[in-house]
Structure 1
Amino acid sequence: MESKSMFKELKSDLPASIVVFFVAVPLCLGIALASGAPLFAGIIAGIVGGIVVGVASGSALGVSGPAAGLAVVVLNAIASLGSWNTFLLAVVISGVFQLIMGFARAGFIAYYFPSSVIKGMLTGIGLLIIIKQIPHALGYDKDAEGDLAFMSTTGGENSFSALTNALQHVTPGAVLISAISLAILILWDSVLSKKHKIFQLIQGPIVVVIIGIAMNYLYQSGTLNFSLEKDQLVQLPVAGNLNEFFSQFTFPDFSQITNLEVYKVAIVLAIVASLETLLCAEATDKLDPYKRVTPTNRELKAQGLGNMVSGLIGGLPITQVIVRSSANINFGAKTKMSAILHGVFILISAITIAEIMNMIPLASLAAILLMVGYKLAKPALFKQMYKFGWEQFVPFTATVVAILLTDLLKGITIGLLFGLFYTLRHSYRNSHHMKDVATTEDGREVHHLVLAEEVSFFNKANVLKTLNAIPENSKVIIDFGKSKAVAHDVLELIDDFQANAKTKNIAVEKIHINDYNTLHLD
């Protein structure tokens, strides 16, 4: 049934898969370069992420492949293990760990990330794409395509110094291609796609890539008086025949199976890759116009299988990736067939048309990614989050800024800390409420304090402040009627208050304390 439903939307999935394919190829190569790995390792990871993970995954629109967030981890791991083949063994073992996590139902972690942080992640990635692609659009390509870290792993620059340097090293030929490409994409998106179905079937990015190849050919032939350097084009490894193609596959060094360092690297890879996958799956579901929900445990199993296969044949570690997933959604994909087909296209192109692919200007792809970035980080979203109040806006903004200045996982962590602060603040403020003050016949004030459903040790200070404010010669009723769990610290505080209340002539009455099975939360 699933295979039939995948082919059902082929008219939407096929054009989207071609767009994702064009976006994915330079990202696969760039991430491999940033990771200090063989370039072909990125291509292998793209193929496996598309086909193997695509088939096994339950994500409708998520696209998997080599991840920018793992580039620094991979770079350091290769150096610490001493060889590429030993690192591949760590990738295989990390896949085994992910499979175990999937069967252990560890995917529930995904549901603990607040909506404000996930939206901040999407916006931060969108802004990061824009910042990282502007240099490529201007023809300044010192930073590897796909490197999303604040500090470049290849160029010795940061995100903002690269922008400054790009303005001083503008390539007119690249700027012309970028400008024409952006004009086509904007026209296609805002006008042509609404005019006729043919413009929905043939996506604007496909036209942009074809025009980019044509313009590069005109540059090379001298018809147009511009030129592009080799590093301003896609650079797929070219195999002369099938034997040369398969000779680029490498295999793990299983003689290192007893090396503890391999297992340490594998654990780090499994944890980071799983977190990044779960975050991206959550973000992708938010972008999905049909609001489908990815089964997270199945996704961990699919990623584990993908990493095992990728490691066995010489590929980089794999995660679900938001840049390709958002491009997939933005350009009309409806099922996971799009992700699978993009992997098939990477495989076919690497075998047959690598030379043609190497004529695609990075400026053309930069224009496509600039559009993807803009759709992720629309200014209206900042306005919307601000309207939701500080509790939503602060974690959102903190996540955006932190992602721009650090990396994806650190940015998410900082956003979570801000979200946790507001959660604790909310909990602190909502530990109890006071009913209207009554008066007894003898003129004594009666204060009725009703405890919340759950009162943790975080609420201790707030409860104490309220009790200390009760005036002398009055009565206080402490009502446990709504409480299901009260921390031991708070119960102890109430007992101490009751013991000392006599000195102020305050009568203390505890009610409904036995009506519920009140738990002592340590």
Structure 2
Amino acid sequence: MFKYIKNDLPASIVVFFVALPLCLGIALASGAPLFSGLIAGIVGGIIVGALSGSQIGVSGPAAGLAAIVLTAIGTLGGFENFLVAVVLGGLIQILFSILKAGVIAYYFPSSVIKGMLTGIGIIIILKQIPYFFGYDKDPEGDFAFFQIDGENTFTEIFNTISGIISGNFSNGATIIALVAMAILILWNNVLSKKGKIFQLIQGPLVAVVLGIIFFVLTQGNETWGISAEHLVKVPVPESIETLGSLLSFPNFSVIGDAQIWITAFTIALVASLETLLCVEATDKLDPYKRTTPTNKELFAQGIGNTVSGLVGGLPVTQVIVRSSANIQSGGRTKASAIIHGFFLLISVVLIPRLLNMIPLSVLAAILFIVGYKLAKPKLFKTMYNLGWKQFIPFVVTVLGIVFTDLLVGIGLGLGVGIVVILIKSYQNSHFLHIEDKSNGAHKIKMTLAEEVTFFNKGAILKELDSLPENSQLELDVRNTRYLDNDIIEILEDFSEKAANKNIDIKLISERGVVENPDSYIQFFKLDKNQNPPSDDNTD
């Protein structure tokens, strides 16, 4: 696991700096104790990271569950009661893994997965704009379009622009964010190619260190100083002995409450779905194209949620923001996820005050780069060139995620993808060839596809009804391996119409040619599954 430590250690540092404010922000957006977000990050890194079959996925508290957690804490009568649902949710996920439910991950179209990555990249960029200028006081975990303070993504940006125009923004936060952005771009495009030292020491670490130095040097300066509201906020225990006072534990006396079990199942279902989607996405981003065993991942997530609930943490999932930051920073194995978990643990215990000197605007600059790499403009052109069947589900997923939230956006994209499948199934049920129009006679050949189901009824019925009188129809079913009974009934009904319109029908199958068959049902019963019978049964 530590074979590629020279790659994994720098990547783990980047993931740590990305995960730290997100853990705190998601806890705040969830209405939970701030320390519960850090616990979930630690559990997601160390425990889930060790058990997971993913080499580059990183787990932790997810913004997609924030609304569920916020509602559940109030409904269940407190955070300690909610923790029981988290523990049970983890056990249900373990059951999902035993039942091999991870297979669902393979049924999401590539266009939707790419749309998910792009949409998240755009959201990361949009959500970090206010932080970049030291303007927004909202929690970092507020990733939904409609925010907990009544604002939305775009009104926050407009407020930021108005604030910049009126001079109501943080000079210090903005200048150090610009410096951090320049360092990251320079490091990524130039210095990383100049020597191994620049590959070992990552640009984000340098940016964060400079951010801390800038804060210390300008502290108390009215023009360039950065106020506390624009800094990371890690809970600070008075001593190591009092660290335990920050923990919460589940109240198992409410385990018989039906609402607890409903919440547990909701957490298990949503967390599993979000994890499986992220697994599919991270596997696509993985430069080494490794495949994550999905059922093993569900088991790891189940163990993680069980442990997180037992020690007072939020629910965990595999998270695309941290996973993509890991990949883009050169992470090679699961060691990077595990080490980032230890960094979270050590920093919370030993250096919380130092962490509270990191400007949020510097972290916004780091996330800008992550978001851009996920949502590169050229991807839109690539998807457009692949055709409308790929482009439309992709765009719908992107817009759905940006204007609603992750799961709704994916649901919309998947719905459009299904509609596209139905349209193509409608169109591809048969091929109609008009071969001869001489002397007013029409010789028409219809070749049925390999599988023809009730989805194709409308298309086939339309073509049959449009056939002109006194024509000849050749119906070729030699390639057809499955023919729905609904289609056979259509052919049965059409045989009567054909007689009235003087249409001759030739049915071509692997058994030969049949002129105007009396019964299509009997024909296809003899030719069940389109397998040719022996010569003895030809008649």
Q: TM-score range by the shorter chain?
A: over 0.9
Task: Find 2:477's aligned residue among 480, 492, 503.
Answer: 480
Tell me the CA shift for residue 85 of structure 1: 0.8
Alignment of 1:59-98 (within 5 A): 59-98=54-93
**Alpha-carbon distance in 1 for matches of 2:137, 2:490:** 62
**Alpha-carbon distance in 1 for matches of 2:406, 2:440:** 62
Alignment of 1:364-379 (within 5 A): 364-379=362-377
Maintained 8 Å contact 2:422/2:455 = yes
Maintained 8 Å contact 1:481/1:515 = no
**Alpha-carbon distance in 2 for matches of 1:130, 1:294:** 28
Task: Find 2:293's aligned residue among 292, 295, 298.
Answer: 295
Please name the residue that 1:47 is paired with. 42
Tell me the CA shift for residue 447 of structure 1: 2.6
RMSD between superposed Cα atoms in Å: 1.7
Letter in 1 for 2:483: V
**Alpha-carbon distance in 1 for matches of 2:22, 2:420:** 37
Tell me the CA shift for residue 437 of structure 1: 2.8
Residue 449, structure 1, aligned to residue 461, structure 2? no
Tell me the CA shift for residue 476 of structure 1: 1.9
Letter in 2 for 1:488: N
SS in 1 for 2:219: helix
Letter in 2 for 1:197: K
Q: Could you report, residue by residue, the CA deviation over 1:250-301 in whole angstroms, capped at 9, with x for unpaired residues?
A: 1111111110000000111111111110111111111111111111111111
Please name the residue that 2:200 is paired with. 201
Maintained 8 Å contact 2:434/2:442 = no
Could you tell me which runs of 5 or more consecutive residues in structure 2 were left unpaired when the two chains were aligned. Answer: 510-523, 532-539
TM-score under structure 1 length normalisation: 0.95
Could you tell me which runs of 5 or more consecutive residues in structure 1 were left unpaired when the two chains were aligned. Answer: 1-5
Please name the residue that 1:496 is paired with. 493
Alignment of 1:308-319 (within 5 A): 308-319=306-317
**Alpha-carbon distance in 1 for matches of 2:229, 2:68:** 25
SS in 2 for 1:510: strand
Maintained 8 Å contact 2:112/2:394 = yes
SS in 2 for 1:326: helix
Alignment of 1:412-491 (within 5 A): 412-435=410-433, 437=435, 445-491=442-488
Letter in 2 for 1:459: N
Letter in 1 for 2:384: Y
SS in 2 for 1:89: helix
Runs in 1 of length 4+ with deviation above 3 angstroms? 442-446, 513-516
**Alpha-carbon distance in 2 for matches of 1:220, 1:450:** 78
**Alpha-carbon distance in 2 for matches of 1:365, 1:445:** 71
Alignment of 1:106-125 (within 5 A): 106-125=101-120
Please name the residue that 2:408 is paired with. 410
Letter in 2 for 1:433: F
Alignment of 1:213-232 (within 5 A): 213-220=212-219, 222=221, 225-232=223-230
Task: Find 1:126's aligned residue among 121, 132, 136.
Answer: 121
Residue 509, structure 1, aligned to residue 521, structure 2? no
SS in 2 for 1:65: strand
**Alpha-carbon distance in 1 for matches of 2:336, 2:65:** 24
Q: How many residues align structurally?
A: 511
Q: Could you report, residue by residue, the CA deviation over 1:128-172 in whole angstroms, capped at 9, with x for unpaired residues?
A: 00000010010013221122100112x321001111112313211
Letter in 1 for 2:203: G
TM-score under structure 2 length normalisation: 0.92
Alignment of 1:96-245 (within 5 A): 96-153=91-148, 155-167=149-161, 168=163, 169-220=168-219, 222=221, 225-245=223-243
| Larger displacement relative to structure 2 (267-276 or 166-175) | 166-175
SS in 2 for 1:517: helix
Letter in 1 for 2:325: A
Letter in 1 for 2:134: G
Letter in 1 for 2:66: A
Maintained 8 Å contact 1:449/1:478 = yes
Maintained 8 Å contact 2:347/2:355 = yes
Q: Classify 1:392/1:380 alpha carbon distance in 2 versus 1 (closer, same or farther; 3 Å).
A: same
Q: Could you report, residue by residue, the CA deviation over 1:362-413 in whole angstroms, capped at 9, with x for unpaired residues?
A: 0110100011011111111111111111111111111111111000000011
Maintained 8 Å contact 1:205/1:368 = yes
Maintained 8 Å contact 1:483/1:516 = no
SS in 2 for 1:437: strand
Maintained 8 Å contact 1:31/1:144 = yes
Residue 254, structure 1, aligned to residue 252, structure 2? yes
Alignment of 1:27-38 (within 5 A): 27-38=22-33
**Alpha-carbon distance in 2 for matches of 1:78, 1:70:** 12
**Alpha-carbon distance in 2 for matches of 1:201, 1:193:** 9
Please name the residue that 1:3 is paired with. none
SS in 1 for 2:60: strand
